Amino acid sequence: GENVEQHPSTLSVQEGDSAVIKCTYSDSASNYFPWYKQELGKRPQLIIDIRSNVGEKKDQRIAVTLNKTAKHFSLHITETQPEDSAVYFCAARGGYSTLTFGKGTMLLVSP
Amino acid sequence: NAGVTQTPKFRVLKTGQSMTLLCAQDMNHEYMYWYRQDPGMGLRLIHYSVGEGTTAKGEVPDGYNVSRLKKQNFLLGLESAAPSQTSVYFCASSYSNRAHYGYTFGSGTRLTVV
């Protein structure tokens, strides 16, 4: 089955800095890669996603890049703010839209 | 429009007890999923369903059973709870249409088995 590796497990940045989280996947048939943000005690919320026919997608301060050849994708957050502090999960889509998730990255943004 | 509703939100079980977690969605989604979330492990797929009357195993199905008798409901059962099943359980649903892959998650059930 699909295997998704996510790095780093924790990331500390100063407010205003950029943050990058990287994921690799194993199944070359995967064609959809979402990113979720989860605040403490809350449900995961979709923040951005990318399909395999696109190399990059942006939404304000958040961007995702995909390299299908290398089977890796990354989340980029610019101008980080304290409210960006949360756990971020990457995922890859398999059959019947099942998602395999990475183990998560705890992002801490210090004022 | 409530989205995905999970009940109960919290539960404490004794080892060997049984319980059922209920997931209900009002978005007419075809696909439904049960995940468990443990610290440092991300979300792992327990079982899923692609339509009324169908179920399939995910990555970690042992110790759980599921049923989907109605399209809007997906039940997760623990027949004989074990401490290893202490976790936060999330239900999710999605369309089958390739134009809409995104999940809608429920708010979760925090289960403790003592």
Smallest Cα distance from A43 to chain B, Å: 5
Q: Which residue has the higher pLDDT, B39 or A23?
A: A23
Judged by CB atoms closer than 8 Å, whether chains meet at B102 and A46 is answered as yes
Interface of A with B (CB under 8 A): 1, 6, 9, 32, 34, 42-46, 49, 89, 93, 96-104
pLDDT < 70 positions in chain B:
1, 98-100
Cα A18 to chain centroid distance, Å, stands at 14
pLDDT in tens, B51-79: 999 999 999 999 999 999 999 999 999 99
Distance CA A65, CA A61 (A): 13
- Tens digit of pLDDT for each residue in A46-73? 999 999 888 999 999 999 999 999 999 9
Average pLDDT over residues A14-19: 98
CA dihedral B7, B27, B105, A50 (to 10 degrees): 170
Task: Report the share of chain A in percent with pLDDT over 90.
Answer: 88
Per-residue model confidence (pLDDT) at position A39: 96
Task: Residue B31: count other Cβ atoms within 10 Å of its Cβ.
Answer: 21
CA dihedral B61, B17, B104, B71 (to 10 degrees): 80
Backbone φ and ψ for B60, nearest 5 degrees, come out as -130, 65
Q: Rounded to whole angstroms, how far apart are CA atoms B80 and B98? A: 38
Whether the predicted pLDDT of A18 surpasses 90: yes
Cβ contact A55:A36 at 8 Å: no
- DSSP string across B73-103: EEEEEESS--GGG-EEEEEEEE-SSTT----
Predicted confidence at residue A9, as pLDDT, reads: 97
Closest CA to B51 of B90, B89, B93: B93
Nearest to A83 by CA among A52, A33, A45, A50: A45
Using a CB–CB cutoff of 8 Å, tell me whether B86 touches chain A: no
Q: In this predicted structure, what is the pLDDT of residue B40?
A: 85
Residue of A42, A49, A96 lying closest to B50 (CB–CB): A96
User: Is pLDDT above 80 for A85?
Assistant: yes
